[in-house]
Amino acid sequence: LFLAIYLLPFALRDGQHMEASEVGRVLAAQAAGMALFTFTSGWLSDKLGPRGLAAGGMLVTGAGLLGLSLSWPTTGILVPMAWLFVCGAGTGVFISPNSSALMGAAPRSAQGSAGGVMALARTLGMALGVALASGMFATVFPGGRVVGWPRGADDVVRLGLQAGAGFAVLASLVSFFGYAGRKDVEVVPHPS
């Protein structure tokens, strides 16, 4: 997701000629989706277990990234806002059950270490996403900033979004099959 978050401000401003306030509104849709779904996902994870929710959340994130890539380049703010909201919703559904599974797999005496692993994974994901996006942009912006939006830049944005969708599908598979048969990460549903 950070690959897209890095690419989109430039693509929306320079490639789609949006004002900074419009770019901000578009990007805020992702945060809104996360905010609306994170708490409910945590509650559902406590009731149902993390496996399906984490995998499903990543599939929704991937669908949002793929949808945005297929609609790129876009006009106006509603289409990218809608797809980024879908991405945020999927990420919001993923975060709580994934965190629950990781923390639940660690004994109480290793909760700090488990939290550190979770933070490290998040940081590495952000760094790798930004590095990949930077490398992709460097192919159409050789030698630094180019005035205007060079030919091929929209293709790079589409490819970056599709790569993000692919990583989300991979994360979904890891979430689903990584929990399979592991009793230590299955959450026992709470009685209603």
Whether residue 4 is predicted with pLDDT greater than 90 in this model: the reply is: no
What domains does the chain contain, in order, with CATH numbers? 2-178 (1.20.1250.20)
With cut-offs at 50, 70 and 90, classify the pLDDT of residue 35. Answer: very high
47-50: Cβ within 8 A, 24+ apart: 47/189, 47/190, 47/192, 48/187, 48/189, 49/97, 49/186, 49/187, 49/189, 50/97, 50/98, 50/100, 50/101, 50/104, 50/175, 50/179, 50/185, 50/186, 50/187
pLDDT digit string, tens, across residues 75-107: 789 999 999 999 999 999 999 998 888 888 888
For the record, the structure tokens of 67 come out as: 């949808």
Whether residue 56 is predicted with pLDDT greater than 70 in this model: the reply is: yes
pLDDT digit string, tens, across residues 134-150: 888 788 777 666 677 87
Contact 50, 101 (CB under 8 A): yes
pLDDT at position 188, please?
Answer: 46
pLDDT at position 37, please?
Answer: 95
